Amino acid sequence: MANAARERGWDYIGISDHSESAFYAGGLKRDKLLRQQEEIDRLNARLEGFRILKGIEADILADGRLDYDATVLDSCDYVIGSIHSRFSMDGDAMTKRVLAALDDPHLTILAHPTGRLLLSREPYALDVEAVLEKAAQVGVVVELNADPHRLDLDWRYCRQAKELGVLIEIGPDAHSTAALDNVHFGIGMARKAWLEAGEILNTHSADDVVAFARKRRAQ
């Protein structure tokens, strides 16, 4: 994945496998995540002009807690939080769940916020405006998931995020090297929402991304 990112002219890539609650997707147990981080450290020691960031896509549990404890989350350069279970919760409960996750200072990015899969799954019940307002208050980045089956956050909500001052991250949701090119769909959606480069987290340097995550964690 790192080599494929370099071939595309990128300066860095973030590795964000699923967390252990996502057993159906091969989510990483704590020990396997730590081994992955050690491997990334070894690669970074010999890579020149490129960096691999250590991330995780932690499940947002039903009560709003992030999968893994603080010690594990502290070992990551950044933390993505997302919902992969209990999609049928009512709007109030789902909104409280997401708002509670936003209170965790480890959370850097809220991924595919509405959970929609185009032409196959409707968004779950969620007060998106309330989530965006809270993200603006606490400094959480919201993902524009560039997988063409998702395109979530929708461009209309991306426009609202821009007006509230919420940073957006364009995530290719790449489960293969070829899927790194999903980022182009995300760029198109971002442009449709009138977003500019400075309003996208991953137009900034790897150091800036890590510094952003650490600053929020120190709150």
Q: Are 210 and 53 in contact (CB under 8 A)?
A: yes
Report the alpha-carbon angle 57-60-62, nearest 5.
155
Please give the Cα distance from 133 to 157 (Å, whole number): 11
pTM across the whole model: 0.96
Report the alpha-carbon angle 13-15-19, nearest 5.
160
pLDDT in tens, the chain (219 residues): 999 999 999 999 999 999 888 776 678 899 999 999 999 999 999 999 999 999 999 999 999 999 999 999 999 999 999 999 888 899 999 999 999 999 999 999 999 999 999 999 999 999 999 999 999 999 999 999 999 999 999 999 999 999 999 999 999 999 999 999 999 999 999 999 999 999 999 999 999 999 999 999 998
